[in-house]
């Protein structure tokens, strides 16, 4: 089933989160004229929701995020009504009413009568299992929970929780739609609270018990939690902002029987709910202090609680290491759990959990953590995900926070996948793509590049990455790149090592080799493969200036075979054709090239003339060598960039000012 393409979207509930969900849908779909209808039984709630959305969009205009014309279009695209009949024609309905089972069931009884039999029905419940919510729905195959996180219009994580009767095809189509519109959907197994809220609410419970036992005050625990766990805001401040005290109190009581006995609503939370008051937290600019003993006791308890909760979710089987790592870090704005355990050492993490469990009856020490500690190895955190589709291995780079940028861990995982697929007789070939709709791969991780200290280390780094690209190029089975979005730097170099490439239709920017803006040259084959694929004359200016090239131009030049609506599906077809022998994928020319007498002019602008000298040497001297020698020559010259002042200037400028700011190169 293809990605869900709604013609109309309904949002039910105009309270805490419904208007934010509607705002996001309108932001994404208003240009396509897909109307968003918000339904609530109370007119005052609708008025408040419309005002909330209007204020947020006005702030977006002030910050430059939106133009006024866009805001006007979004507001015009969103309607607010008490009439459930307005949902007629909706292909997707997301209920965001209060967390009351009877109310939710009544809502869907009404909704089911108002929409077509193919419309997807979803609840933004934060706890209730989909089987329970949709128990009375006539066709549960089209139902699921889609759980947003605060603030819903900006937090990219959504938990997609199908019930036992939900159609896998419907789930897949919803997952694809959310990925296409810029969210990061995580498919989570059905259990009360799902995967992330038991961690959020469990960490609040751990913090509350520290306060109850007299270890520290709410202000102090907030501050210590931020230091120890990397939280954007402390657990008590988060509870104030989300208004989550009543819901958390209910959730913790249910977790007691549904997850583990340690969970329960603490006395101080019950008192806070009864009073209706917010927690006493630090004011703006207020400095909170604590003793070394308080920091150590609270810090160890919080880490033990955190690691234990995450590993319990893993043991339950409702979420993977990869999804928990990404989901918890992004949705809750805190240090990624498995990376954090690797940093402290998995055996040390186990000791922290065991110590916490010894002091907190009913707290579980999960078996996966025990086994990982006993193995003596760190957690493996998948960044390159493999899914086999009818005999084709689909490899997806998934690092959405950095637009799928490459680092050494990604390259090691990619190499491991190649070895496994080579030995897998059931796999005909490989498709590589990126996660989301913005980027295939945005380049190499600049922090990793900036940490290289010597020319020798830079050359060694380039050679190690070249070995992975060479392995793709020499792979015995067909390998096709599906550009789902832009490819910069190392991302495009990786794509060019594939046997063929297709791209999403209409990309104004498909690729660029922006290394000159950083004070470096490509190091994974860009100066050698691009000229051999598109011709030296066409590659000359883009390599020297970093200028972007559109999808249409890339097709004209021969970098890609075609532009298409679904590049992954098309790439899979091409792999099958190549494996069956009905299509031949032309190999890259491996011999020396003829260098034209005249090459196009390149406007360097602010770019470094010193780096451009190295770039020209890499292109021209490498072109006159066999490909293998040209690649090694490029790696050596990549190392030579470290001998210049301009590489340091370019890297520091990027890290300090971002990719759009021009570096003040000195041409040395």
288 with 208, same domain?
yes
Based on the fold, state whether residues 111 and 204 are members of the same structural domain: no
Residue 242 is predicted with a pLDDT of 85
Q: What's the residue count for the chain?
A: 668
Say whether both 108 and 145 belong to one domain: yes
Could you tell me whether strands 429-434 and 392-397 are parallel, antiparallel, or unpaired per DSSP bridges?
parallel
Judge if 398 and 366 occupy the same domain: no
Residues 226 and 357 in one domain: yes
Q: What is the pLDDT of residues 536-594, one digit of tens each?
A: 999 999 999 999 999 999 999 999 999 999 999 999 999 999 999 999 999 999 999 99
What local confidence, expressed as pLDDT, does residue 68 receive?
Answer: 96
Across 162-174, average pLDDT: 97
Question: Which residues lie across from 387 on neighbouring strands?
Answer: 394
Does the model's pTM come out above 0.75? Answer: yes
Q: Can you give the pLDDT at residue 2? A: 60
Q: Are residues 259 and 405 in the same domain?
A: no
Query: Do the domain assignments include residue 491?
Result: yes
Percent helix / strand / coil, the chain, rounded to 5: 50, 10, 35
* Strand partners of residue 70: none
146 plus 221 within the same structural domain: no
The sheet that has 36-39: what strands, in order across it? 78-81, 36-39, 9-12, 92-95, 120-123, 143-148, 157-162, 184-187
Residues 445 and 325 both lie in one domain: no
pLDDT of residue 3: 79
Among the ranges given (3-7, 35-39, 193-197), the one the predictor scored with the smallest mean pLDDT: 3-7
CATH label of the domain that carries residue 507: 3.90.226.10
pLDDT at 1 over 80: no
pLDDT at residue 630 above 90? yes
pLDDT tens for each residue of 142-155: 999 999 999 999 99
Shared domain for 98 and 224, answered yes or no, is no
CA 16 to chain centroid, in Å, comes to 25
Question: Whose CA is closest to 391, among 314, 477, 284, 451?
Answer: 477
In this structure, what token pair is assigned to residue 585?
Answer: 């994928």
In a domain, residue 2? The reply is: no
**Is 610 a member of any domain?**
yes
Who contacts 195 (Cβ-Cβ below 8 Å, separation ≥6)? Answer: 159, 186, 188, 313, 318, 319, 323, 324, 327
For residue 4, being part of any structural domain is answered with no
* Torsion angle, alpha carbons of 316, 319, 325, 326, to 10: -160
Structure confidence by residue, pLDDT tens digits, 264-312: 999 999 999 999 999 999 998 899 999 999 999 999 999 999 999 999 9
SS (H, E, C) 147-198: EECCCCCCCCEEEEEECCCCCHHHHHHHHHHHHHCCCEEEECCCCCCCCCHH
662 occurs within a structural domain: no
Instruction: Report, as an integer, the average pLDDT of 363-379.
Output: 98
Dihedrals φ, ψ of 640, to 5°?
-65, -25
Residue 349 shares a structural domain with residue 284: yes
The residues annotated as belonging to the active site are 493, 515
**DSSP symbols for 568-602:** HHHHHHHHHHHHHTSS-PPPPP-S--PPPS-----
Q: What is the mean pLDDT of the chain?
A: 96
E strand intervals along 320-421: 384-389, 392-397
Tens digit of each residue's pLDDT (9 = 90 or more) over 235-266: 999 999 988 899 999 999 999 999 999 999 99
- 476/607 same-domain check: yes
327 and 419, same domain (yes or no): no
Task: Return the structure tokens found at 189.
Answer: 């197994």
Tokens describing residue 349: 């993490």
Average the pLDDT over 3-30 and give the result.
96
> From CA 42, how far away is CA 254, in angstroms rounded?
30
Domain harbouring 305, CATH code: 1.10.1040.50
229 by DSSP, 3-state: which?
helix
How far from 164 is each of 2, 109, 135, CA to CA, in Å?
A: 21, 19, 11
Residue ending a domain, among 168, 187, 206, is: 187
Instruction: Say if 665 falls within a structural domain.
Output: no
Which of 145, 165, 187 terminates a domain? The answer is 187
pLDDT at 24 over 70: yes
Residue 638 inside a domain? The answer is yes
Mean pLDDT of the 129-148 span: 97
At 86 the pLDDT is 97
Q: Where are the alpha helices (DSSP H) in 474-608?
A: 490-496, 515-518, 526-534, 536-545, 551-557, 567-580
The enclosing domain of 42 has a CATH number of 3.40.50.720
Query: What one-character-per-residue DSSP string does 278-340 give?
Result: PP--PPTT------HHHHHHHHHHHHHHHHHHHHHHHHHTSS-HHHHHHHHHHHTTS--HHHH
Q: In total, how many domains does the chain have?
A: 3
Q: Which of 375, 401, 431 marks a domain boundary? A: 375
In a domain, 168, yes or no: yes
The structure tokens listed for 440 are 């295939």
Domain of residue 304 covers: 197-375
């Amino acid at each position: 089933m293809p990605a869900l393409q709604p013609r109309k979207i309904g949002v039910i509930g105009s309270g805490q989160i419904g208007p934010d969900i509607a705002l996001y849908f309108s932001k994404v779909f208003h240009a396509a004229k897909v109307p968003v209808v918000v339904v609530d039984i109370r007119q005052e709630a609708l008025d408040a929701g419309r005002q909330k959305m209007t204020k947020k969009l006005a702030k977006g205009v002030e910050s430059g995020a939106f133009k006024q014309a866009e805001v006007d279009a979004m507001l015009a695209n969103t309607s607010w009504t008490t009439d459930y009949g307005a949902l007629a024609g909706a292909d997707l309905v997301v209920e965001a009413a209060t967390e009351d089972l009877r109310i939710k069931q009544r809502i869907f009884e009404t909704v089911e009568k108002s929409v077509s039999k193919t419309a997807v029905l979803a609840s933004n419940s934060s706890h209730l299992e989909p089987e329970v919510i949709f128990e009375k729905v006539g066709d549960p195959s089209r139902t699921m929970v889609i759980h947003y996180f605060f603030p819903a219009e900006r937090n990219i994580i959504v938990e997609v929780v199908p019930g036992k009767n939900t159609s896998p095809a419907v789930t897949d189509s919803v997952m694809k739609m959310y990925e296409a519109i810029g969210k990061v959907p995580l498919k989570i197994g059905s259990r009360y609270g799902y995967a992330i809220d038991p961690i959020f609410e469990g960490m609040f419970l751990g913090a509350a018990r520290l306060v109850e036992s007299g270890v520290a005050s709410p202000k102090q625990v907030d501050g210590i939690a931020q230091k120890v766990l990397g939280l954007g805001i402390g657990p008590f401040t988060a509870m104030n902002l989300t208004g989550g005290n009543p819901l958390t109190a209910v959730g913790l009581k249910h977790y007691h029987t549904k997850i583990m006995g340690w969970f329960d609503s603490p006395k101080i939370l019950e008192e806070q709910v009864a009073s209706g008051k917010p927690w006493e937290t630090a004011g703006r600019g207020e400095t909170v202090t604590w003793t070394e003993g308080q920091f150590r006791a609270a810090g160890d308890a919080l880490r033990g609680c955190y690691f234990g909760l995450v590993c319990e979710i893993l043991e339950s089987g409702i979420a993977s290491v990869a999804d928990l790592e990404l989901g918890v870090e992004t949705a809750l704005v805190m240090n990624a759990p498995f990376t954090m355990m690797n940093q402290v050492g998995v055996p040390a993490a186990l000791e922290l959990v065991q110590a916490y469990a010894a002091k907190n009856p009913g707290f579980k020490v999960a078996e996966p953590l025990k086994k990982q500690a006993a193995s003596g190895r760190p957690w493996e955190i998948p960044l390159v995900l493999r899914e086999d589709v009818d005999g084709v291995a689909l490899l997806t780079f998934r690092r959405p926070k950095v637009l799928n940028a490459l680092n050494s861990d990604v390259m090691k995982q990619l190499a491991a996948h190649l070895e496994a697929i080579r030995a897998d007789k059931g796999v005909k070939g490989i498709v590589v793509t990126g996660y989301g709709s913005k980027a295939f791969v945005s380049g190499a991780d600049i922090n990793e590049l900036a940490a290289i200290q010597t020319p020798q280390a830079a050359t060694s780094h380039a050679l190690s990455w070249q070995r992975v690209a060479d392995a793709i190029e020499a792979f015995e089975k067909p390998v096709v790149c599906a550009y789902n979005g832009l490819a910069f730097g190392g991302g495009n170099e990786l794509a060019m090592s594939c046997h063929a490439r297709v791209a999403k239709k209409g990309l104004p920017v498909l690729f660029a080799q922006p290394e000159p803006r950083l004070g470096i040259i490509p190091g994974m084959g860009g100066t050698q493969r691009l000229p051999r694929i598109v011709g030296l004359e066409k590659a000359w200016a883009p390599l020297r200036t970093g200028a972007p090239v559109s999808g249409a131009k890339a097709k004209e030049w021969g970098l890609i075979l075609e532009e298409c609506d679904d590049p992954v599906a098309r790439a899979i077809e091409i792999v099958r054709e190549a494996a069956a022998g009905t299509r031949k994928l032309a190999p890259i020319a491996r011999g020396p090239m003829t260098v034209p007498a005249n090459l196009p002019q390149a406007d360097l602008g602010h770019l470094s003339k010193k780096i451009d000298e190295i770039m020209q040497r890499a292109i021209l001297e490498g072109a006159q060598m066999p490909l293998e020698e040209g690649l090694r020559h490029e790696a050596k010259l990549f190392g030579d960039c470290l001998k210049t002042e301009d590489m340091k200037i370019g890297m520091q400028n990027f890290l300090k000012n971002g990719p759009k700011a021009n570096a003040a190169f000195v041409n040395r």
